[in-house]
Each structure stands twice: as C-alpha cells, then as structure tokens.
Amino acid sequence: MDSSREIIKNKNNAKAGKQMLIGLHLGNGYGSQPGAWRMPGVDPKNYTSFDARVKQAQAAERGKFQFIFLPDGPGAMLTDLETESPSFNLDVMLTLAAVARETKRIGLVATGSTTFNEPFNLARQFKALDVMSHGRAGWNAVTSSGEDVAANYGRRIPSSEERYGRAHETVQLIQELWGSWGKEAWVHNQESGQFAKKEQVVPINYKGKFVGSRGPLYIPPSEQGQPIIFHAGGSPNAHELAGRFANVVIGAAFTIEDARAQRNAFREAAKRYGRNPDEIKYIPGLMTTIAKERRTALDRRIKLTEGLIPQRAAYLQQMLGIPLDLSRLNEPLSKEQLDAARPSPYDPRSRHALKVAKEGWSLRNIIAHGVIDYHPVIVGPGIEAADHMQAWFEAGAADGFWISPDINEDGIDAFVDEVVPILQERGLFHQEYEGKTLRENLGAPDQYGVDSRVSTRRNETPEISNN
C-alpha cells in the first residue's frame, strides 16, 4: 500500500476509535525515576532548563505523541531536596509557551488547580496558550488535595464537597468565558475599519456559590476554538466532574480489571450528562525502561534506584506477606518463601510482584522490575511495552497511555524508536498527525463555549458527595 493510502487507512481507524492515544509525562525535566538527574549524559541543571523541555517535547513529537502532559501542584511534591529534584516544572504555562514556539503538532496539556486559582486567570492563560500554539492547548482541571499545596496559598484543603463544587463551577465559568468572544466576532477589516462585532463579545455575568466573573474575556477563538478539558482523579466525584466536562482522563491503574472499571465509570458518568461515552478517553499511565535486552534494562534500573533498594525491599515484605533477608539481595527467594508468600489484598501491585518473584529473579532484580512504582512498569525490550499496551487497549481498559520514561534524556527516544514502530505496524497507533489541532488529533468533537448539554444554566446543580 502506498504511503498516502496507508495514512488514509489510519485516519479512518482513528475516526473509528481503533487507535490508541499516547501522551508524554513531562515533569521536572529528568525523568520519572528519582536518580535520573545523576545519570551519565544528563545535564544536572535540566530542572531549570526550558531548552531541555523543548528538546524532550520535540522527541515526543517525532514519535507522533498526541500530547505532552505536565502535572503540577504547585509544590515540591514530597521529595527530599537534599537528594532529589522537585517533581514539577518551574511553571507549567511558561514551559508550554516555550514548547509551543518550537513544535508544530503535539498537544500541550498543563495541570491547573480549580481549588486555588481564580477562574478568570486560568481562562485567560489557557486560551492565550491555545491561540499561541494554534489550537494545541489542553487544561488538566484538577482539584488539589495536598496540604503542602494548600499551605502555599495560606490555606487548608477544603472538603471534597467544596473542592468539587468549586471545580464544577470553575470549569463551566471558564468555558463560558472562552465562548464570550463570539466565534465570528473578530472582523479585523482594515478597509471598513471594523475591528470586532462588539455585540458578539459579551459579559457572562456568572455568579455561583464558589466563583464568579462578569467577563467577557477578550480573546478570539483559537484554531480549535478553545482548549480541551482533561481531568486526573479517581473518586466518584472525579468521575462526575470528568463525565461532565472532560475529553481525556489521565488515570492510574495497575491491572486491566481496575483500568476497565475506571474507564467504564467515566464513560457511565459521561452518559449521565447526555454525552456519548466515546467523547471521554481514559488514559492510564505506563512507566518505561526500554532497552534491547531485559538484562540491560534491569541493570539501568538498578543503577537508577540503588539508594531506594533497601526501602523498597522492606516494603516488598508487606506486599508478599513474608520476611525477606535484606542481606541476600542477590539471591532469588527460596522455595519456602515463595510457597508462604501471599499477595497483599491492600496493594494491587502485589500479584504482579509475586509473579516476578516466581520467575526466579534475585531480590534486587525483582525490585528492578519496577514492582513498586506509581504505574505498571516495563523494564525490557520495546515489544514488551507494545504487548502491554495492546492487551490493555484491546481489553477495553484504556484508550491510550501516558508514558513516563525513566530518564528523559534518552528514554523518550528509546520509546519512539523501539515501541512506536511496533504499535504502528500493528495498526494500533497513527503514522501521522490527523490534523493541526489537539482537538483533531484526539478526535474530540467541536466545542466553543460551554456544552449546552452539561450547563447548569439549563440543568440542576450536579450531585456532589461529601466523602
């Protein structure tokens, strides 16, 4: 098949929802493993380097990733500064502004707290970024839940009811502000002298229980109209917020069963708001250490996490329910230990940890498989990542994945060169960007202003539980 026909075929698959989405986690500039900043070839000053972020986003764009995803507190996220970098960007919007100027297609998604920001500020920054990037912005609208973050605002974390109540109002208000500059209002006709159709740029006069704004917001539509809403969270209140507003959910799940249940919960919530469940894509995380051989990948992980091994081994005891001898890190678990081991029902990673232990790896190597991390971890050749992604995707557990490479410096390229081609060959991932905007590349429906199906100006205030 010639390449233009191949692209058309992929376009059709994407439209039919048959291809997965891939995002790149871009945090502190080093990678997802704590020791990444000290690895050979890594500039230890990347924490403050906008050039490094640009380079990393460009690497993801080379691999046709649909978006980069920047988490944010804002705070340091519980790292020990003595030995570790903070987890986040210096400022997510400034990073994305720099990346916008040096990339062409990749979506730019930043986290912005609905708990501690004024909606007008968020509306303005995200729409300006959307215009600047020619329609590639996404807003990960989250509620903040860390007291360390609250302390930066001189506050305490409000109740869930209050956080999600404010979140619902904030997203609606912001979308109303985005729509307050009419879609066709900007005339900029030098001959007639008409700059804009004044009557189409109107105040919104939103006054809710938690937030308010008069408006309008003086920003015309971007090429995709307005930014895409993302959400990250897993509670029933998160399902409700995302089901109402989000096109993409950044998730975290360790098993296919859990991911499928989460995906279904978000899809059901979308249906309750009269939306088509395919309008919301569930994207769980995947951490990667990709190398041609499993042994090379394991050695890389061991080097990265050396200092954490005793702590992780101690935790592994609880996951497996057996005592482990930390002085015998280089030996496999004995038959007696394996027979006595019982995966902890309190940690969804435990079954996988036991499976790895039963393969006969040493204690050090079991840990190097990433059995104790924030997401499922692939430590090995690219095909293992592709197999994992295909299995989850085809089981209805994921619409795509957000990838956290161990070390960004070469880990993004490893994924792009070793995993992406396999997924493309299998018809599971697009060969080329479908369009210029994030909306087109996600297959998200057109929207400008608030979606009338979910607006409280028409409906009742949604139910928010106080758990």
Residues lying near ligand FMN in the complex (CB under 6 A) are found at 71-73, 111, 113, 142-145, 160, 232-235, 237-238, 250-252
Tokens of 229: 């809403």
Q: Strand pairing partners for 108?
A: 68, 137
Q: How far is the CB of 157 from ligand FMN (least distance, A)?
A: 9
Q: How far is the CB of 131 from ligand FMN (least distance, A)?
A: 24
Q: How far is the CB of 76 from ligand FMN (least distance, A)?
A: 12
Nearer to ligand FMN, 95 or 160 (CB): 160
Beta-sheet pairing, 206-207 with 212-213: antiparallel
Give the orientation angle of helix 350-358 with respect to helix 309-320, to 10 degrees: 100
Q: How far is the CB of 237 from ligand FMN (least distance, A)?
A: 5
Tokens of 220: 């015309």
Nearer to ligand FMN, 165 or 251 (CB): 251
Nearest partner of 428 among 8, 45, 10, judged by Cα? 10
Q: How far is the CB of 378 from ligand FMN (least distance, A)?
A: 18
State how far the Cα of 451 lies from the Cα of 329, in Å rounded to an integer.
56
Per residue, what are the HEC states of 397-459? CCCEEEEEECCHHHHHHHHHHHCHHHHHHCCCCCCCCCCCCHHHHHCCCCCCCCCCCCCCCCC
Asked if 56 and 46 touch (Cβ cutoff 8 Å), the reply is no
Nearest partner of 181 among 137, 151, 226, 150, judged by Cα? 226
Tell me which residue has its CB nearest to ligand FMN.
71
Q: How far is the CB of 162 from ligand FMN (least distance, A)?
A: 11
DSSP three-state, residue 154: coil
State how far the Cα of 113 lies from the Cα of 141, in Å rounded to an integer.
6
Q: How far is the CB of 217 from ligand FMN (least distance, A)?
A: 24
Nearest partner of 415 among 435, 390, 386, judged by Cα? 386
